[in-house]
């Protein structure tokens, strides 16, 4: 560790934690005169200047997204320091006085049901706020859950797995999936897209372990553990602990289903199904509900109501102004003052996008959209261009929930103005489908991308840039659904086409090849049909 303060202000006082992703130190912020926690991360994947640049971009993006989770169960991230060699990354965080969850888990000293459920319910509350951003944790496990002295549960390390991830999981001697094998969802093992449903599977693993004192699966090797997550049926909790209520056992089994879309619809549903096993407001604690000696009481906050973030309002759209009916009179030419405003906004937007300040870029164009729509009409090409920029910047910022209705509205507008097969309409439809995929709506995302691909093929063939991206995305979504054979039948011919046109050393060709290598491992034991 450095002898000099990090970034000239953070002094390292005492190491109190060590994990697979780095060391944790008790530190001191000399500028603001406060204690802090400092986590050192060593990214193993940074082996060249190009990879260093990509890592820095990923880190900045993920740190900004993670910073948007506003919840007391998520320790604040105060600062992040990446040294010039890219060998050390320091995250400076809120210092929490508490104990990691593994300290309370023991097969011979089982936790009270209400204690275990209270921890899971608090984690669900935190996830409801994260998934609303949306942020997927990717590495939820007992070691990343801390019980503070007042009984508040803190979920640590949001964003770190995303910062360190590789674009394709490598189940080879040269790499491994980001995550912890005992809590890794089947889609994560396969290297497919992670969604909020991935966190629900991990929450099921954590709740299972809290209630019976042992991990869901055990094995002699990482490979054996991963294979069990993909293939093996979990042991129902009541076979391991008779006093677990049947409805709670059913919830855990529901969380642990292999297919992401077969799990509960969202984390709010999980919370509602946990509520019957939580203490009622004002209900005193009993001797039977007491946790380990000296342990904080996570049921306390439920005796005083504490609930997750409400779902976003249904039916909200990103439309601005009233839709212009087909055949309406064309708007007047762009006034000179408005033209200057649009030019200035475009320049400001481009500068912010170059700096990867995507949320600010969306706000900049958003400020002009309403006045431009009043002057020109909501489907004027200038207004649509502004709306499209806002949707793209929201998408890049990770705000898929806001970008989705914007892209859908744009697809309808461009379809009316330029035709349903126009480039703008097809691209908007494809981006809307990608947003759905990021939000875990995989079936709808697949249908949307496949519809767009059919039209793109008819216009530009199988190897146009748009067609290649669509084929790749469809294959990855199929893999996320566990449809391994279908994913192989999409990605294998794509790889052959890419080898012919771009060559085997092209970055995209290599990415598809690595995904095919995962499929060929045939973890399901099913008929992937792939050659060896």
Cα 434 off chain centre by: 13
Is residue 228 within 8 A of residue 205, CB to CB? The reply is no
CA angle at 357 for the pair 474 and 339, rounded to the nearest 5°: 100
Place of tokens 């709506």: 441
**Residue 489, C-beta contacts closer than 8 angstroms, at least 6 positions apart:** 529
Catalytic entry in 132, 139, 199, 492: 139
**Residue 496, C-beta contacts closer than 8 angstroms, at least 6 positions apart:** none
Enumerate the H helices of 213-264 as residue ranges.
Answer: 222-231, 246-255
Which tokens in the block code for residue 4? 């000099």
Interatomic CA distance for residues 248 and 461, integer angstroms:
52
Is residue 146 within 8 A of residue 153, CB to CB? The reply is yes
Helix (H) / strand (E) containing 91: strand 89-93
The answer to whether the bond into 307 is cis (omega within 30° of 0) is no
Interatomic CA distance for residues 226 and 362, integer angstroms:
40
Neighbour count for residue 458 (Cβ, 10 Å)? 9
Interatomic CA distance for residues 442 and 489, integer angstroms:
18
DSSP H helix total and E strand total for the chain: 18, 8
Is residue 454 within 8 A of residue 443, CB to CB? The reply is no
Interatomic CA distance for residues 369 and 519, integer angstroms:
46
Strands of 178-263 (E only): list them: none
Distance set, CA 505 to CA 95, 271, 291 (Å): 45, 47, 57
The dihedral sign for the CA sequence 403, 404, 409, 412:
positive
- Ramachandran sector of residue 38 (left: φ over 0; alpha: ψ -120 to 50; beta: rest): beta
What is the side-by-side strand order in the sheet with 153-155?
Answer: 98-100, 145-148, 153-155
132 is annotated as an active-site residue: no
Neighbour count for residue 101 (Cβ, 10 Å)? 23
Question: 22-44: string of b/e by CB count within 10 Å (b at 16+)?
Answer: bbbbbbbbeeeeeebbbbbbebe
Is residue 237 within 8 A of residue 285, CB to CB? The reply is no
Helix (H/G/I), strand (E/B), else coil: 266: coil
Residue from 137, 136, 34 nearest 92 by CA: 34
Which tokens in the block code for residue 221? 């090797």
Catalytic residues: 139
């Amino acid at each position: 560790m450095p002898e000099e303060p990090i970034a000239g202000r953070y002094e390292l006082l005492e190491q109190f934690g060590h994990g697979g992703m780095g060391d944790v130190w008790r530190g001191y912020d000399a500028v603001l005169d406060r204690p802090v926690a400092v986590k050192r991360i060593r990214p193993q994947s940074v082996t060249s200047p190009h990879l260093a640049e990509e890592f820095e971009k990923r880190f900045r993006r993920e740190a900004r997204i993670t910073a948007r989770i506003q919840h007391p169960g998520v320790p604040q991230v105060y600062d992040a320091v990446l040294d010039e060699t890219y060998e050390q990354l320091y995250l400076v965080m809120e210092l929490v006085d508490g104990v990691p969850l593994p300290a309370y888990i023991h097969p011979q000293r089982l936790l009270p049901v209400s204690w275990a459920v209270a921890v899971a319910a608090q984690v669900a509350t935190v996830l409801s706020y994260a998934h609303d951003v949306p942020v997927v944790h990717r590495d939820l496990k007992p070691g990343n859950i801390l019980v503070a002295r007042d009984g508040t549960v803190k979920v640590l390390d949001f964003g770190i797995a995303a910062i360190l991830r590789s674009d394709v999981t490598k189940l080879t001697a040269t790499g491994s999936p980001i995550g912890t094998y005992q809590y890794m969802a089947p889609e994560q093992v396969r290297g497919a897209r992670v969604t909020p449903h991935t966190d629900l599977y991990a929450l099921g693993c954590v709740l299972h372990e809290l209630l019976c004192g042992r991990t869901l699966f055990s094995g002699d090797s990482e490979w054996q553990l991963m294979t069990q997550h993909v293939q093996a049926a979990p042991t129902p909790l009541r076979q391991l602990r008779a006093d677990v209520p049947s409805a709670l056992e059913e919830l855990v089994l529901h969380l642990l289903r292999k297919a992401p879309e077969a799990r509960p619809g969202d984390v709010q549903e999980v919370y509602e199904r946990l509520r019957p096993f939580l203490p009622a407001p004002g209900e005193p604690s009993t001797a039977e509900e007491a946790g380990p000696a000296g342990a904080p009481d996570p049921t306390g906050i439920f005796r005083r109501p504490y609930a997750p973030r409400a779902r976003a309002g249904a039916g909200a759209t990103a439309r601005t102004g009233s839709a212009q009916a087909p055949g309406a009179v064309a708007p007047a030419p762009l006034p000179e003052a408005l033209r200057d405003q649009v030019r200035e906004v475009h320049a400001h937007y481009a500068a912010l996008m170059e700096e990867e300040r995507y949320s600010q870029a969306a706000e900049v164009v958003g400020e002009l959209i309403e006045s431009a729509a009043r002057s020109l009409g909501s489907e004027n090409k200038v207004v649509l261009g502004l709306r499209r920029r806002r949707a793209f910047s929201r998408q890049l910022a990770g705000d898929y929930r806001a970008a989705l209705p914007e892209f859908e509205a744009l697809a309808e507008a461009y379809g009316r103005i330029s035709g349903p097969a126009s480039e703008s309409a097809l691209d908007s439809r494809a981006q809307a489908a990608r947003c759905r995929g990021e939000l875990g709506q995989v079936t709808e995302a697949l249908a949307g991308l496949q519809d767009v691909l059919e039209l793109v093929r008819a216009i530009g063939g199988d190897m146009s840039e748009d067609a290649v991206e669509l084929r790749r995305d469809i294959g990855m979504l199929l893999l996320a659904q566990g449809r391994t054979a279908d994913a192989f039948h999409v990605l294998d011919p794509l790889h052959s086409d890419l080898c012919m046109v771009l060559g085997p050393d092209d970055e995209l060709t290599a990415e598809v090849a690595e995904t095919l290598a995962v499929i060929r491992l045939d973890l399901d034991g099913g008929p992937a049909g792939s050659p060896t």
